[in-house]
Amino acid sequence: MPDETPASGRGSAAATAARPGLLRTIAHRLAGEDAGLPVEGALASFDGATGWLNSPPLTPEALRGKVVLVDVWTYTCINWLRTLPYVRAWDAKYRDLGLTIVGVHTPEFGFERDVDNITVMAREFGVEWPIAIDSDYGVWRAFDNHYWPAAYLADAEGRIRFHHFGEGEYAMTEMAIQALLAEAGATDFDPNLVDVEFSGLEVAADWRTQQSPETYLGYRQASGFAQEEEARFGERATYNPPGFLPLNAWGLSGAWTFASHASVTADARARIAFRFHARDVNLVMGPLPKDASIPFRVFLDGRPAGDAVGTDVDADGRGTLDAQRTYQLIRQSGSIQERTFEIEFDGPGAEAYCFTFG
């Protein structure tokens, strides 16, 4: 994670319950009426963007007359991915009624500064609205932002009237969109909230069973590393299997470089083991060089993962590391218990950055 942000900067984990009485108060008003949302300041400038996708450069002045939802994201962020179905649905429902979504892509990992990567992933995720590429954190600082994801909602006069950090508050956010559209004079919209479908990484976490935190695998931010005392920082070393792992501890086996940004395989048959308690296991990872292709296999409690595999793994527990992104490796059904996850890479150059869970 860049130095500009704290380690907890990926946003709120738990969804916050909506407040129905307040929602009805702010949203269901006559056109032109005050929406009941406080003015939090002016819509910040996008001048710090290093480039744009899906649009020429936009300014707060050019957006006057539009209700603007600024969506701060980075494409590997699991918290943002789980908000994405709602943002897509809001774009489809309200774009023609006066809503403009501006995505601000601010990278966490170095490879997320690669414009080709951003372009490919935006297309894959169906992000069709304007994207300000914020690789130097200029827009992030202009908004004084500290979280992925973050949503800032501005009215037609260019004033911030609502914000939310992290997942959740989808009903509240949509009601605020409706309220500001009505305040701007829009009348012809369905007041019912969007109905969204989820799949893969976009499915909400099972917060009742998730007991494992986001865990970084580079020494600059690593936690839970069982072999820290014997680690060779930034150097190639061969690690013996870690043996017993307590909950939320992890270890390496085989040849690795424990680098500042990631753990990087130095030879074939290199493994990571993680003791976890959650429905899903995801891993931000990528090949080096980025156009390489590295086979991998995943295991649960020493056996092939079987019917608990995620969307990036086949029925035999095998997958291919062929892009720098978030991979869903495990999705369990039924009772969730503490288990040991392992991934084995069949070659050098696999960079493992961060585990997330759901």
Specify the pLDDT at position 33.
52
Could you tell me which of 150, 75, 148 has the C-alpha nearest to residue 112? 75
- Between the alpha carbon of residue 308 and those of residues 193, 274, 278, 281, 325, the distances in Å are 33, 16, 12, 10, 21
Question: Where does residue 161 rank: exposed (0-12), middle (13-18), buried (19+ CB within 10 A)?
Answer: buried
Rounded Cα gap, residues 327 and 330, in angstroms: 9
Specify the pLDDT at position 36.
86
Specify the pLDDT at position 223.
96
- Between the alpha carbon of residue 116 and those of residues 228, 255, 291, 323, 324, the distances in Å are 35, 30, 12, 11, 11
Specify the pLDDT at position 34.
56
Please name the helix (run of DSSP H) or strand (run of DSSP E) that holds residue 42, with its range, or none: strand 41-42
User: In DSSP terms, which residues pair with 351 in a beta bridge?
Assistant: 264, 286
Strand-by-strand arrangement of the 99-105 sheet: 41-42, 159-165, 150-154, 67-73, 99-105, 131-133, 51-53
pLDDT less than 50: residues of the chain: 1-9, 11-32
Neighbouring CB atoms inside 10 A of 160's CB total 20
Specify the pLDDT at position 54.
98
> What are the backbone angles phi and psi of residue 279, rounded to the nearest 5°?
-75, -45
Specify the pLDDT at position 333.
95
The pLDDT tens digits for 104-113 are 999 999 999 9
Structural domains in the chain? 20-202 (3.40.30.10), 215-357 (2.60.120.260)
Measure the N-to-C terminal CA separation of the chain; round to a whole number of Å.
Answer: 20
Predicted TM-score (pTM) of the model is 0.90
